[in-house]
């Protein structure tokens, strides 16, 4: 049980009006997919410049469904990053295709687009980039590569709802865009996700894949043309999402304020001379979903887990986002090994996520910085 003055890694902010709205949905008797889902989709479409958007029960199934709509399956390859939540590549396996990993840029920690073309083969059909911590991948370069090689793009924008690229909201342009509204995201629907599509034909396919491939007509007509799943969002969840959307700009601005404070505090505390890696100071495009530092493993006597334990003892939450995918047993069995992607592997060993959420107090930032820097200084190699 955490103490009242502890700082969690993250905490969702849900207002009383949204809670009351959920009560009203529960009392209405219609709690599965219904009018609230339709309203949520309409608001998301408005945010995405009028593009078709369909809501789902996770930001994982959205990527799988995008791959299926794109016709990607056995014998095909999909390029992605090894530094992400494992769902990003698991969905590729789920459709029978093969993930092809490309190392990360050590500065942005996103997929290194300068390495992508070397990974393209005649079997390549798509790219799944990930906006780690909400920092967008270079969309101009990404889509130029995809256009040149006739590849589909499924943007894993699970962490970048509210981010922009060249002044345009992520989701308002491009190919497929997948969002997540998990409780740790910048806005939440408890569990849930959304897929931004290119046209109504794709949207109708997404609806079929969302609920067992069913197409209804009239009062009693039903047809099934493809094997779908059970991926629909409930009206309860959609009502939470609807209550969150008006706060997106406010939440983003607060996160940026906290991130600026973190960067200033770490600079003042001598983080760089100590070798602590800080994230890029992007306050134009990034939504600051997470604030992540890179530990200087070669200078420390402690491993990351021990540092996290010490932070926890000081009442400060932390996390790891993420261990590299290609070194999990599932992916080792497919042929990947240590040393394949050195930049990602270094990040996987050393990346540390620190608390960042809108209701975090200003005074929490120096407390976190002081605690981490103190731990590092006390455990430097001679």
Q: How far apart are the first and last CA of the chain?
A: 37
Angle among Cα 277, 59, 251 to the nearest 5 degrees reads 60
From residue 337, alpha-carbon distances to 15, 78, 102, 329, 351 in Å are: 47, 19, 13, 10, 20
Q: To 10 degrees, the CA torsion angle through 50, 136, 327, 351?
A: -130
Q: What's the residue count for the chain?
A: 382
Q: What is the distance, to the nearest Å, from the Cα of residue 44 to the centroid of all Cα atoms in its chain? A: 17
Q: Cα separation of 133 and 186, whole Å?
A: 10
Write down the catalytic residue from 185, 204, 310, 337.
185
With beta carbons less than 8 A apart as the criterion, state whether 277 and 294 touch: yes
For the four alpha carbons of 277, 280, 283 and 289, in that order, the dihedral sign comes to negative
For residue 26, count other CB atoms closer than 10 A to its CB.
13
Q: Is 185 a catalytic residue?
A: yes
Residues classed as catalytic: 185
């Amino acid at each position: 049980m955490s103490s009242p003055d502890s700082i969690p890694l993250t905490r969702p902010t849900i207002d009383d009006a949204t809670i009351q709205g959920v009560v009203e949905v529960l009392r209405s008797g219609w709690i599965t997919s219904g009018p609230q889902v339709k309203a949520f989709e309409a608001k998301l479409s408005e945010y995405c410049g009028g593009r078709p958007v369909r809501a789902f029960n996770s930001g994982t199934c959205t990527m799988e469904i995008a791959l299926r709509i794109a016709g990607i399956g056995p014998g095909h390859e999909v390029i992605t990053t090894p530094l992400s939540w494992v769902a990003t590549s698991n969905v590729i396996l789920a459709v029978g295709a093969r993930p092809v990993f490309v190392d990360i840029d050590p500065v942005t920690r996103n997929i290194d687009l300068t390495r992508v073309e070397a990974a393209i083969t005649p079997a390549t059909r798509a790219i799944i980039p990930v906006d780690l911590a909400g920092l967008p991948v270079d969309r101009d370069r990404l889509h130029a590569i995809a256009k040149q090689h006739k590849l589909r793009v499924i943007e894993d924008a699970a962490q970048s709802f509210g981010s922009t690229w060249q002044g345009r909201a992520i989701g308002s342009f491009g190919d497929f865009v997948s969002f997540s509204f998990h409780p740790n995201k910048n806005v939440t629907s408890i569990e849930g996700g959304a897929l931004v599509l290119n046209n109504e034909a794709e949207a109708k396919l997404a609806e079929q894949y969302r609920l067992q491939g069913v197409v209804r007509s009239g009062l009693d007509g039903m047809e099934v043309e493809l094997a779908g799943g059970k991926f629909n969002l409930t009206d309860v969840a959609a009502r939470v999402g609807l209550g969150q959307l008006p706060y997106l700009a406010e939440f983003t601005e607060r996160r940026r304020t906290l991130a600026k404070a973190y960067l200033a505090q770490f600079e003042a505390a001598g983080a760089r001379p100590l070798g602590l890696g800080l994230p890029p100071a992007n306050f134009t495009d990034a939504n600051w979903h997470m604030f992540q530092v890179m530990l200087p493993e070669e200078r420390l006597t402690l491993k990351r887990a021990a540092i996290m334990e010490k932070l926890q003892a000081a009442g400060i939450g932390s996390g790891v986002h993420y261990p590299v995918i290609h070194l999990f047993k599932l992916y080792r069995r497919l042929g990947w090994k240590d040393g394949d992607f050195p930049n990602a592997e270094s990040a996987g060993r050393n990346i540390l996520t620190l608390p960042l959420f809108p209701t975090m107090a200003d005074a929490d930032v120096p407390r976190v910085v002081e605690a981490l820097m103190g731990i590092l200084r006390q455990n430097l190699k001679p």
